[in-house]
C-alpha cells in the first residue's frame, strides 16, 4: 500500500519535474495505441523524453477533452483528434497550427493519402494535424462463401451473374438476399445476408452513409445546402429497412457495431458494412469463428471516410516535446513497424510496400477503400448533425416516421446548422 502511494506520488512529482520531460498524450483504445506504446522505449533511448499515454474509450473522449482544451493549461501535451471534431476544435482555436514547424523540420506531408490529409490534416489550408489512423468503411464479407463452387453455381442459376467480390450496389444487394437463409427449417432466418447497426445516433448515421453514397446520393452541394433528402436518400432508407427486416438478425435496429460484429464473428452473417479496422478483429480466435474467412470490399460509390490525427493543443504544457514525439511517431521507420504489426496506416507508400503486403494481403484493397472514400460533412456542428440525422434515420427505420419526412427534418436541421456555422449563405 505504502509503495503504491509512494509511486503515485513520485509519478505525479516526476510529471512536473523539470529534469526529465514527459509528454502526456490522451489516446483512444485502438490496437494502434498498443503498437505506439510498444515503440516508446526506442523513443526514450533516442531523445530522453518520457511518454505517458492515457487510453480511454472513444465515447468518453470528447467529454474529457473539452474542459482540457478550453482551459489555459490542460494536462495533455499531444492528443489525437477524431474527424468529427476537427472543425469544432479548429474553429474554437484549440489546436496549434503546425505549418511553421513542418517547414522548419522539413516534414514531408505528401506521404499521406490526400483523402486523409483533407480529413484529419489540413483545415482551410492550415495544417493542424498529422493523420495517425484511418478507419474508412467498406463491406466485410465471407470470402470463403464467395469462393465456394456450390454457392457460385446456385447464385448464377438464380440471378444470371457471377458470384464474386461485389463491385456494384445492385450486385451486393443480390448477394445479401441470396445469403439470407433459414438453414434449419424452423421458419426463422438464422444466416443473415448482412448485419445492420440501426441504433439511434452515431451508429446508424455512419453505416447508412454508405448506403447513401452507394445509391449515388450526397449530403450537400458546394453551397452547403442539404441534398440527401433526394430520391437517392429515400432509396437508401428503403434498402436499409429491407436489410433489417428481411436480411438481418432480429433487433438490428438497436445494434451498434459491437452487437453487429459479434453476429458476424459467430459466423452467422455473410457481410457487414463497417469500419475496415474490424477486419483484423475477425482473425482473432478468441473472439471470432470466421478466422481466415473474412475479407473486405470497397463500398460501391465510395465508403465513409474516417480517421484520427495527431494534434498539439494550445493548452499543451510541453509543445516542443510533443512535436518531437509526433515527428518521430510519424517517421517512416516507425509507421512501417506499426503497419507490420497490424496498424491502420495513413501514409500511401505503406499500402504498396511488398513486405507489408506479404504479411497483410488485404492492403491493396484497403488502399482502394481509402482512396475512394467519401467525406462526411465535417464542420463545427458535425456531431450535432450526426445526432439529428441518427434520430431521424432511426425513426424512419423503425417505422415510426415516413422516410421522406424524416429526411426532410434532418435536412432542415442540417441547413440550420450550416447557416449557424457560417457555411451556408
Partner 1 sequence: MTVAADRLPSLDRRFGWAMTAPGLLALSLVVLFPLFFAIFTSGFEYTLLHRKYDTFVWLDNYRSIWSEGYLGQSLWVTTTFVVAVVLLEFLIGFTVALMLNAVQRFKDVYYLILLMPLLINPVVVGLIWRMFLHPELGIVNYVLSLLHLGPVNWLGDVRVAFWTVVLVDIWHQVSFMIVLLLAGLASLPREPYEAARMDGASIVQAFFYVTLPLMRPVIVVTLLIRMIFAVKTFDLIFVMTRGGPGTSTDLISYFIYRSAFYGLDLGKASAISVVLLLVVLALTGYLYRYMRSLA
Partner 2 sequence: MSAGLAAPSRTLRGLVPHLLLIAFSASILLPLVWLLRVALTDKLTAYRIPPELAPLRLDNFVEIFVHYNFSAYFLNSIVAAVGSTAIALPLATAMAYAFARHNTGGSGLRLVVLASQMLPPVILVLPMYSLFLMAHLLNTWTGLLLAHLAINIPFLAWILIAFFQGDVEQLEQAARIDGATRFQAFLYVAVPVAAPGLLAAGILAFILSWNEFLFALILTGKATNTLPVGLAGFQTQRGVDIALLSAATVVTILPVLLVLPFMRRYLIKGLSLGALK
118 binds, among partner 2, partner 1, none (CB under 5 to 8 A by kind): none
Neighbours of 188 (CB within 10 A): 9
Of the pair 12, 17, the CB lying nearest partner 2 is at: 12
CA distance 375 to 382: 12
Residue 257 binds partner 2 (CB under 8 A): yes
12 binds, among partner 1, partner 2, none (CB under 5 to 8 A by kind): partner 2
Sheet-wide strand order for 192-195: 192-195, 269-275, 137-142, 294-297
CA distance 369 to 147: 21
- Per CB under 8 A, the segment of 24-32, 41-49, 160-168, 376-384 that binds partner 2 is 24-32
Q: What is the pattern of x (binds partner 2, CB under 8 A) and - over residues 142-181?
A: ----------------------------------------
**Phi and psi based region of residue 96 (left: phi greater than 0; alpha: psi -120 to 50; beta: remaining):** beta
Q: How far is the CB of 253 from partner 1 (least distance, A)?
A: 4
CA distance 414 to 61: 24
For cell 463545427, the residue is 380
Q: How far is the CB of 2 from partner 2 (least distance, A)?
A: 12
**Phi and psi based region of residue 292 (left: phi greater than 0; alpha: psi -120 to 50; beta: remaining):** left
Residue 196 binds partner 2 (CB under 8 A): no
Closest CA to 166 of 149, 183, 181, 178: 178
Residues 199-238 that bind partner 2 (CB under 8 A): none
Of the pair 339, 395, the CB lying nearest partner 1 is at: 395
CA distance 11 to 59: 27
Residues 59-88 that bind partner 2 (CB under 8 A): 59-60, 63-64, 66-67, 70-71, 73, 75
Of the pair 74, 233, the CB lying nearest partner 2 is at: 74
β-pairing, 137-142 with 269-275?
A: antiparallel
Residue 252 φ then ψ, to 5°: -65, -20
Residue 182 binds partner 2 (CB under 8 A): no
End-to-end CA, the chain = 62
Residue 288 binds partner 2 (CB under 8 A): yes
Residue 57 binds partner 2 (CB under 8 A): yes
Residue 354 binds partner 2 (CB under 8 A): no
Closest CA to 180 of 239, 236, 243: 243
Q: What percent of the residues of the chain are helix, what percent strand, and what percent coil, each to the nearest 5? A: 50, 15, 35
Contact between residue 243 and residue 271 where contact means Cβ atoms under 8 Å apart? no
Residue 286 binds partner 2 (CB under 8 A): yes
Q: Could you list the residues that contact partner 1 (CB under 8 A)? A: 59, 62-63, 66, 70, 88, 91-92, 198-203, 249-255, 258-259, 262-263, 266, 268, 380-381, 383-384, 386-387, 390-391, 394-395, 398, 400-401
Of the pair 12, 419, the CB lying nearest partner 2 is at: 12
- 379: cell is 464542420
Helix axes 231-247, 169-179, angle to 10 degrees: 20
Q: Which of 38, 46, 58, 361 binds partner 2 (CB under 8 A)?
A: 58
Of the pair 202, 318, the CB lying nearest partner 1 is at: 202
> Which residues here bind partner 2, judged by CB under 8 A?
4, 8, 11-12, 24, 28-31, 52, 54-60, 63-64, 66-67, 70-71, 73, 75, 135, 257-258, 261-262, 265-266, 275, 277-278, 281, 285-289
Amino acid at each position: 500500500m505504502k509503495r503504491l502511494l509512494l509511486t503515485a506520488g513520485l509519478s505525479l512529482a516526476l510529471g512536473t519535474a523539470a529534469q526529465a520531460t514527459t509528454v502526456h498524450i490522451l489516446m483512444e483504445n485502438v490496437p494502434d495505441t498498443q503498437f505506439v506504446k510498444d515503440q516508446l522505449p526506442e523513443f526514450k533511448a533516442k531523445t530522453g523524453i518520457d511518454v505517458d499515454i492515457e487510453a480511454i474509450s472513444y465515447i468518453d473522449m470528447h467529454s474529457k477533452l473539452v474542459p482540457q482544451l478550453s482551459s489555459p493549461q490542460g494536462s495533455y501535451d499531444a492528443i489525437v483528434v477524431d474527424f468529427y471534431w476537427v472543425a469544432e476544435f479548429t474553429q474554437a482555436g484549440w489546436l496549434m497550427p503546425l505549418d511553421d514547424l513542418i517547414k522548419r523540420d522539413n516534414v514531408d506531408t505528401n506521404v499521406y493519402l490526400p483523402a486523409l490529409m483533407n480529413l484529419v490534416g489540413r483545415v482551410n489550408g492550415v495544417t493542424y494535424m498529422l493523420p495517425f489512423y484511418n478507419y474508412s468503411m467498406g463491406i466485410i464479407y465471407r470470402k470463403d462463401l464467395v469462393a465456394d463452387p456450390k454457392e457460385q453455381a446456385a447464385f448464377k442459376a438464380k440471378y444470371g451473374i457471377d458470384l464474386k467480390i461485389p463491385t456494384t450496389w445492385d450486385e451486393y444487394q443480390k448477394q445479401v438476399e441470396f445469403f439470407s437463409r433459414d438453414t434449419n427449417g424452423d421458419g426463422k432466418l438464422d444466416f443473415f445476408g448482412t448485419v445492420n447497426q440501426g441504433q439511434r445516433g452515431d451508429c446508424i448515421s455512419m453505416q447508412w452513409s454508405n448506403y447513401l453514397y452507394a445509391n449515388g446520393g450526397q449530403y450537400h452541394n458546394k453551397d452547403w445546402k442539404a441534398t440527401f433528402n433526394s430520391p437517392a436518400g429515400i432509396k437508401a432508407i428503403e434498402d436499409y429497412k429491407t436489410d433489417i427486416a428481411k436480411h438481418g438478425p432480429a433487433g438490428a435496429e438497436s445494434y451498434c457495431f459491437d452487437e453487429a460484429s459479434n453476429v458476424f464473428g459467430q459466423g452467422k452473417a455473410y457481410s457487414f458494412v463497417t469500419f475496415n479496422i474490424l477486419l483484423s478483429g475477425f482473425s482473432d480466435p478468441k473472439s471470432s469463428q470466421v478466422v481466415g474467412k473474412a475479407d473486405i470490399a470497397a463500398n460501391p460509390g465510395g465508403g465513409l471516410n474516417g480517421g484520427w490525427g495527431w494534434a498539439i493543443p494550445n493548452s499543451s504544457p510541453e509543445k516542443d516535446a510533443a512535436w518531437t514525439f509526433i515527428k518521430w511517431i510519424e517517421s517512416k521507420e516507425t509507421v512501417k513497424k506499426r503497419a507490420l504489426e497490424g496498424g491502420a496506416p495513413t501514409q500511401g507508400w505503406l499500402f504498396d510496400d511488398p513486405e507489408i503486403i506479404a504479411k497483410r494481403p488485404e492492403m491493396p484493397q484497403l488502399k482502394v477503400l481509402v482512396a475512394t472514400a467519401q467525406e462526411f460533412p465535417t464542420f463545427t456542428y458535425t456531431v450535432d448533425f450526426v445526432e439529428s440525422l441518427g434520430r431521424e434515420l432511426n425513426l424512419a427505420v423503425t417505422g415510426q416516421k415516413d422516410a421522406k419526412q424524416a429526411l426532410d427534418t434532418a435536412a432542415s436541421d442540417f441547413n440550420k446548422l450550416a447557416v449557424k456555422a457560417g457555411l451556408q449563405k
